[in-house]
Structure 1
C-alpha cells in the first residue's frame, strides 16, 4: 500500500490518499495451510559443536489475509507434539518424554497472532502467543512473502518464509546435561523456521 500526497488546484496540500495494489487486494481472504507443502522446523545446538535439525509432521493452521491493510491479517497454527521428527527415533522419544515436551499431558503447541506489521517490501513482522507445556509467552516471527500463484489444480496459493528465535527455558523446557569439557548438551536458544504454503478457501 502506498500513500501519495496531492495538491489542490491552488497549490495547497490536499489530504493524503491511500492507494492499494489490485494484486494485494485480490489476495484478501481466508487460507488453509497445506501441510504437504509446508514445513515447521527448528534447530538446536548439540554438545556445543553442531546443530540438530527437526520438524513437526502433523499440524494445521489458517491465515486471514487483508491485502488492503496487512495489520488486520491473522494467523493460527496448531502442532501435534507427537509428530516431532529429528531423524532419530531414540531422540524423538526423549523429546516426547517428561524431560521435554510431556506429550501425554500437553499434546499440542499453538500459536495465535496478535499483531501484524509491515517491515518494508515483502517483509512483515508477526507477533503472537506461543503456547508450550501450558505456558503462553509472546513470540515475534520475521516473515517474508514469497508470492502468490494458481497451481495446476486451480488452487490459489500464497507462500511465506519465516524465522524466529526462542529461549526454551522460558517455556519450562529446562532439561540439560553438563559436558565434561564445559557447557551443556542442548542449547537454550532454539531457532524456528517456517516455510508455509496456504490455499485460499473457496
Structure 2
C-alpha cells in the first residue's frame, strides 16, 4: 500500500511539473528538469504594448492587407500588435511590439542596429533591401503583388505600411530600415529602445 501511494505521488509530481520528492526505495538520480525554466520569456501583448508606450511609441493592433493594382485592398487573416513612433516632422517608423520588447536580440533588431549591406534596385528599394538581408516584405511573386499592415477596416491602400519580416518572426518597417541604413532616422532612433541588449548598439 505504501509503495503504490508513493508511486501515485511520483506520477502526480511528474504530470503537474512540480518537484515533489517521493520517499521510495526506487527513487534515484536527480529530479526531472522543468522544461519551462529554460524557455525564453514571452510577454503578453499588453506587456509588449506597455513597453512600447514607455519608449514613447503608440501600440496599435494592425492586420495584413493585400494591395493589388489601383485602389484594391483585401484584408488577410491574422493580426499583430505594432508600435508606431511619429516624429515632429511627420516621419514615422513601425515595429512589432513583441520585437521591440523581446528579452533577446531579434533579427529585425540586429538588422536595424548593424545596418548590413544590401542590394540597390531600380524598383522599390525598401523591398530590395529587405530581401537582400534575408527578410521578406512581399505578398506575392509579381511586382503588382503589394501589401502591408494597416488599421482594421482600412480602405486606403496607401495606409498599409510595408514591413520586413525575418525568419524568427520579428517585424520592422521596411522603409524605416532602408532609411536607417542610409543614415536617416524616421520616427525615432530605435537603437536604445529595444528591451534586449543588441550587440553592436
Give the TM-score band, short-chain normalised: under 0.3
- Which of the two has greater strand per residue? 1
Tell me the TM-score normalised to structure 2 length. Answer: 0.27
- Which of the two has greater helix per residue? 2
